[in-house]
């Protein structure tokens, strides 16, 4: 439920604005000049706002598509990400948005057509690449969780059918897959699910669907012929993580056809230092920010010893089910990652307009 | 660490605006000066009469905040306002404060639940019967918001205005009795709103281990490190393990810190715990009688 909708004057007559706002007939509508007046105000408290976020409808100006850090490779060619929305209906304790953004309000950019234009332009520049160019959605929001309101996938997925050298990857934890299963599977679209065991999810993925429901959604998508990906990222270290992850991975691969999984990625808990500091202040009582961490490099990560052990163990659990070349592990301690950590932080910060 | 409940501070320009709340909670006037303050032992509420105008309001906010710095404070400005055509007696939450000088808007985050309508509020320097097109008008709102945000996060700062005059009913017809009557009607709805505001200010539910290290010399920075480590230990439910370390015996503070850090670094979190996030929301009226 949304009590308040702020609407930029520029998009007040946009048909998508009306469609979204009409989902909340009782909400107070407040006209604003620019979303930054609400979203970028100083001294806001993300944790408090998460109790009752407002919705902001705006136009995304300037650059809409950004290159991703090279460590996020999943077998494709050049990589970009774009965000039609900032913030998420879930409240994952590890989510970097809490550290990066000042506001927890849902900011939706309604000018989808401008995003697609930029995606097409970028795809053109990669026309002669050996591999398709990848566009990720789901960095700054969950790609599908707000689908009934935003119709994001319903709009973007068909657009990609006419960009053959591009792949769209939708990252999500959501079971809102109606807009996908109603249409024929599309070869250049991958639906990638973040998965955690139920015990971990209950502690750190507040509001997100259970692991069983996510796996059900994956199975349904796979059955309909969609390409799917699995993201065990972040793998959360805890006392019983070996049994916990083994149990989950067995369930996941029993339910899904492993041969038709596009890619599986693993990563540890990691955050830019400044984000970590902000997030720990917001949730000083949470264990996630307290144990096994190292801040020697540009990021706060698990210590090298813990991260290596955890990722290796989970990789070993996945390998029996997977063909070679499908499992990608993001270590915070290899050379590329250390270089990427700095550039990633910079690009994430550049993504929020003043 | 004792979890101190937040305190609600209601700022009003006039005694007659405050009267319904003073009566409802049976508050007593304190001896504090220069501003009139109404309070009651055991009730986490203060009502402050600021006087009319921006300077009075800003001064009062600073004075209140300076009196007790350790408590988390929730701020509410109640008072009358004019509007071109809103009906007399409407209670309206402020969703944007407009500076009459440059017409810039300040948008407070609207997190606490409010059952009524909301509108913009323009604050001016003198009483006026010239109403802006689409905003309420008063003399203190903007000063209240900007000043209170210096001391609390903006989600905990709110204003509710009761329409006292419009183009059909001049501000000149108002008197103290009439103003009190206009405010009186809204005591219940405002009280529900203040409960919602206070719930947002609940402190993190964390209890640090008791650690007495008297006589062990330390720098300010080392003390801050200790506080952080004790917070982490508490988050990992290691308070008993901290007690078992026998740190009181240490004569050097750096050894205290390194032993604590080693304990924390090597303790994998257990998920067999009660999540500490589930503290009850405080209520203004809990443990206090207003009858």
Q: Is B18 left (phi over 0), alpha (psi -120 to 50) or beta?
A: alpha
pTM: 0.92
Q: What is the pLDDT of residues B260-270, one digit of tens each?
A: 999 998 899 99
Q: Which residue in A has a C-alpha nearest to residue B236's C-alpha?
A: A287
User: Residues B180, B103: contact at Cβ < 8 Å?
Assistant: no
| 3-class DSSP assignment, residue B124 | coil
CA B224, B226, B229, B230 dihedral sign is negative
Q: What is the pLDDT of residue B203?
A: 79
* Residue A144, helix vs strand vs coil: coil
Q: Considering only CB atoms, which chain B residues are within 8 Å of A37? A: 105, 107
- Does position A53 have pLDDT exceeding 90, yes or no? yes
What does the alpha-carbon distance between residue B212 and residue A22 come to, in Å, rounded to a whole number? 59
Instruction: Look up the ipTM and state it.
Output: 0.89
- Chosen from A92, A206, A291 to mutate, greatest number of chain B CBs within 10 A: A291
Q: Tokens 């006392």 map to which residue?
A: A239
> Looking at residue B183, what is its pLDDT?
97
pLDDT of A228 over the 60 cut: yes
Mean pLDDT of A339-354: 51
Pick out chain B residues at pLDDT < 70: 1-3, 69, 273-291
Q: Do B155 and A284 touch (CB under 8 A)?
A: no
pLDDT at residue A156, rounded to an integer: 98
Q: What percent of chain A has pLDDT over 90?
A: 86
Confidence at residue B204, expressed as pLDDT on a 0 to 100 scale:
79
Average pLDDT, chain A: 92
How does pLDDT run across A5-20, given as a tens digit for each residue?
999 999 999 999 999 9
Q: What is the model's pLDDT at position B207?
A: 85
Region A46-57 average pLDDT: 97
User: What radius of gyration, in Å, describes the C-alpha atoms of chain A?
Assistant: 20
Residues B110 and B95: their CA atoms lie apart, in Å, by 7
Q: Which of A3, A200, A285 comes nearest B277 by C-beta?
A: A285
The answer to whether the Cα torsion of A291, A295, A299, A304 is positive or negative is negative
Q: How far is B107 from chain A (nearest CA, A)?
A: 6
B72 touches chain A (CB under 8 A): no
For residues A140 and A108, is the Cβ–Cβ distance under 8 A? no
Instruction: Indicate yes or no: CB of A285 within 8 angstroms of CB of B206.
Output: yes
How do residues A77-107 score in pLDDT, each as one tens digit? 899 999 999 999 999 999 999 999 999 999 9
The whole-angstrom distance between B173's CA and the closest CA on chain A is 32
Distance CA(B240)–CA(B235), nearest Å, equals 12
pLDDT in tens, B125-163: 988 888 998 999 999 999 999 999 999 999 999 999 999
Cβ contact A286–B153 (<8 Å): no
Question: Is it the case that residue A56 has pLDDT exceeding 60?
Answer: yes
Contact of B133 with chain A, judged by CB distance below 8 Å, is answered with no
pLDDT above 60: residue A69 = yes
- pLDDT (tens digit per residue) in A294-344: 988 889 999 999 999 999 999 999 999 997 789 999 888 876 665 655 555
Q: State the nearest Cα–Cα gap between A292 and chain B, in angstroms.
A: 5
- Phi first, then psi: give them for residue A135, nearest 5 degrees: -120, 115
The model's confidence at residue A24, banded by pLDDT at 50, 70 and 90, is very high
How confident is the model at residue A113, as a pLDDT? 98
pLDDT of B12: 98
Task: Give the largest Cα separation in chain B, rounded.
Answer: 77
The rounded distance, in Å, linking the Cα atoms of B219 and A207 is 43
Q: Report d(CA B59, CA A331) in Å as an integer.
A: 54
Distance from CA of B286 to the nearest CA of A (A): 21
Q: How much is the pLDDT for A334?
A: 76
Q: What is the DSSP letter of A287?
A: G
For chains A and B, CB pairs below 8 A equal 114
How much is the pLDDT for A341? 57
User: Chain B contacts of A283, Cβ < 8 Å?
Assistant: 204, 277
């Amino acid at each position: 439920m949304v009590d308040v909708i702020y609407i930029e004057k520029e998009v007040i007559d946009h048909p998508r604005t009306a469609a979204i706002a009409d989902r909340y007939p009782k909400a107070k509508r407040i006209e604003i000049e620019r979303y930054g007046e609400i979203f970028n105000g100083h001294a806001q408290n993300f944790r408090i706002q998460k109790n009752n976020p407002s919705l902001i409808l705006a136009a995304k100006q300037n650059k809409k598509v950004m290159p991703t850090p090279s460590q996020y490779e999943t077998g494709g060619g050049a990589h970009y990400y774009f965000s039609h929305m900032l913030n998420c209906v879930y409240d994952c304790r590890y989510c970097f948005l809490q550290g990066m953004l000042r506001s927890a309000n849902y900011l939706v950019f309604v000018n989808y057509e401008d995003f697609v234009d930029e995606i097409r332009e970028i795809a053109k520049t990669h026309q002669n690449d050996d591999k398709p160019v990848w566009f990720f959605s789901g960095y700054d929001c969950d790609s599908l969780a707000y689908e009934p309101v935003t119709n994001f996938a319903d709009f973007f997925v068909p657009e990609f059918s006419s960009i053959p050298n591009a792949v769209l990857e939708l990252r999500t934890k959501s079971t809102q897959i109606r807009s996908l299963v109603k249409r024929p599977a599309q070869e250049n679209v991958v639906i990638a699910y973040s998965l955690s065991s139920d015990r971990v999810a209950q502690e750190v993925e507040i509001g997100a669907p259970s692991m069983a429901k996510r796996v059900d959604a994956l199975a349904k998508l796979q059955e309909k012929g969609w390409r799917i990906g699995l993201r065990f990222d972040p793998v959360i270290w805890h006392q019983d993580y070996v049994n916990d992850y083994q149990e989950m991975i067995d369930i996941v691969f029993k339910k899904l056809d492993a041969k038709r999984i596009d890619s599986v990625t693993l990563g540890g808990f990691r955050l830019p230092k400044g984000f970590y500091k902000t997030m720990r202040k917001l949730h000083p009582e949470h264990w996630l920010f307290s144990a096994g961490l190292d801040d020697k490099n540009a990021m706060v990560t698990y210590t090298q010893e813990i991260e290596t052990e955890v990722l290796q163990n989970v990789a070993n659990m996945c390998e029996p089910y997977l063909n070679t070349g499908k499992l990608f592990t993001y270590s915070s301690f290899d050379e590329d990652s250390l270089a990427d950590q700095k550039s990633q932080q910079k690009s994430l910060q550049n993504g929020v307009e003043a | 660490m004792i979890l101190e409940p937040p305190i609600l501070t209601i700022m009003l320009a006039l005694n007659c605006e405050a009267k319904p709340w003073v009566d409802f909670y049976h508050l007593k006037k304190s001896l504090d000066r220069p501003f009139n303050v109404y309070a009651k032992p055991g009730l986490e509420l203060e009502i402050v009469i600021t006087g009319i105008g921006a300077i009075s309001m800003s001064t009062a906010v600073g004075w209140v905040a300076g009196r007790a710095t350790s408590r988390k404070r929730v701020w509410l400005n109640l008072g009358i306002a004019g509007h071109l055509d809103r009906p007399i007696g409407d209670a309206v939450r402020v969703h944007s404060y407009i500076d009459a000088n440059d017409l810039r808007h300040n948008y407070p985050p609207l997190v606490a639940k409010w059952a009524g309508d909301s509108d913009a509020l323009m604050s001016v320097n003198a009483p006026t019967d010239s109403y802006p097109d689409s905003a309420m008008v008063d003399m203190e709102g903007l000063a209240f918001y900007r000043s209170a945000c210096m001391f609390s996060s903006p989600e905990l700062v709110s204003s509710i205005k009761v329409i006292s005059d419009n183009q059909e009913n001049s501000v000149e017809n108002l008197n103290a009795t009439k103003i009190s009557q206009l405010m009186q009607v809204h005591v219940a709805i405002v009280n529900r709103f203040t409960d919602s505001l206070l719930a947002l200010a609940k402190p993190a539910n964390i209890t640090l281990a008791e650690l007495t290290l008297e006589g062990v010399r330390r720098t300010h920075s080392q003390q801050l490190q200790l506080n952080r480590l004790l917070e982490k230990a508490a988050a990992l439910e290691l308070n008993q393990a901290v007690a078992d370390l026998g740190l009181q015996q240490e004569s050097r503070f750096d050894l205290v810190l390194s032993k604590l850090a080693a304990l924390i670094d090597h303790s994998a979190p257990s998920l067999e715990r009660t999540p500490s996030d589930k503290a009850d929301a405080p209520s203004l009226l809990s443990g206090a009688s207003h009858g």
